[in-house]
């Protein structure tokens, strides 16, 4: 197995009180090699060089630490629209006690993630094929997650209708966004409230050693989502709340 420079990730996590162990490094290495190999036959990511992947995928996924303390990243987590496994797989590697569900509407990605889960010997991880509008009504998933995250999926108005039905009362929804977050928040405020959420906090930062600006939003779930949400497939995107 090739040698990779983990210093950017070690430095980032250390500054937030988290240790990157040798076992975690081994899992990140294996994940990276599986990702780049699969990417030769299936479009998973345009970012393939290690120096870019460690910053723009791994550290970006773990930037949840910008808005939550390490001790708060616990319980049952849903990564909706996970794609190649971001942010869910990096979060699971670094926080192994998490119970993680990786959901995506493209079954080819789910099959790849199932291979990753087996190869990395990750426990308490499920790769789930389906659309958010359908899964959000399913028993065992609706209002059953402590934390729901989503990265680079949709604008906040649409994403809130996809994600908030999964969050249990007292839990949190955290979308990974860009510096355009304030405008998205303005457009999504009424919908978030209608779905039982409350905007609690926002954070802005740049990924280390890049010009990529990020915004994270912490939405707390105070009330149950009305039963009619999420609406049937296609409607949230066509007619945002």
Tens digits of per-residue pLDDT, 158-208?
999 999 999 999 999 999 999 999 999 999 999 999 999 999 999 999 999
Domain with residue 220: its CATH number is: 3.40.50.150
Confidence tier at 123 by pLDDT (50, 70, 90): very high
Contact assessment for residue 198 and residue 207, using Cβ atoms and an 8 Å cutoff: no
Number of domains in the chain: 1
Q: Among residues of the chain, what percentage have pLDDT more than 70? A: 99
What is the pLDDT at residue 143?
98
Determine the Cα–Cα distance for residues 54 and 57; give it in Å rounded to an integer.
6
In a domain, 59, yes or no: yes
Residues contacting residue 193 through CB under 8 Å, at least 6 positions apart: none
- Residue 2 is assigned to a structural domain of this protein: no
Q: What confidence score (pLDDT) does residue 67 get? A: 98
Per the domain annotation, does 176 fall within a domain?
A: yes
Q: pLDDT at position 170, please?
A: 98
CB 199 within 8 A of CB 188: no
pLDDT at 15 over 80: yes
- Structure confidence at residue 1 (pLDDT): 58
Average pLDDT over residues 105-129: 97
Evaluate if residue 153 carries a pLDDT over 90: no
Domain that holds residue 130: 7-238
The confidence score (pLDDT) of residue 152 equals 73
Cis peptide before 87 (omega within 30 of 0): yes
How confident is the model at residue 93, as a pLDDT?
A: 98
**Taking 90 as the threshold, does the pLDDT of residue 104 lie above it?**
yes
Please name the residues in contact with 105: beta carbons below 8 A apart, sequence gap of 6 or more: 81, 129, 130, 131, 132
1 in a domain, yes or no?
no
62, part of any domain: yes
């Amino acid at each position: 197995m090739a040698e990779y420079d983990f210093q950017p990730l070690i430095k980032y996590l250390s500054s937030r009180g988290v240790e990157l162990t040798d076992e975690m490094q081994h899992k990140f290495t294996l994940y990276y090699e599986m990702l780049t190999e699969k990417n030769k036959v299936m479009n998973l990511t345009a970012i393939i060089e290690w120096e870019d992947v460690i910053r723009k995928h791994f550290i970006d996924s773990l930037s949840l630490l910008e808005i939550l303390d390490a001790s708060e990243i616990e319980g049952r987590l849903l990564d909706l629209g996970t794609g190649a496994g971001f942010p869910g797989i990096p979060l699971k590697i670094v926080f192994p006690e998490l119970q993680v569900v990786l959901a995506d509407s493209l079954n080819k990605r789910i099959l790849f993630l199932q291979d990753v889960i087996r190869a990395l010997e990750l426990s308490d991880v499920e790769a789930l094929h389906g659309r958010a509008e359908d899964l959000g009504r399913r028993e065992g998933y609706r209002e059953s997650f402590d934390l729901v995250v989503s990265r680079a999926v949709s604008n906040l108005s649409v994403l809130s209708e996809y994600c908030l039905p999964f969050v249990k009362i007292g839990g949190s929804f955290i979308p990974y966004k860009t510096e355009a977050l304030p405008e998205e928040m303005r457009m999504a405020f009424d919908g978030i409230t209608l779905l039982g959420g409350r905007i609690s906090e926002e954070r802005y930062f740049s990924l280390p050693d890049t010009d990529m600006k990020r915004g994270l939003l912490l939405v707390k779930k105070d009330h149950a989502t009305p039963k009619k949400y999420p609406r049937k497939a296609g409607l949230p995107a066509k007619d945002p709340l």
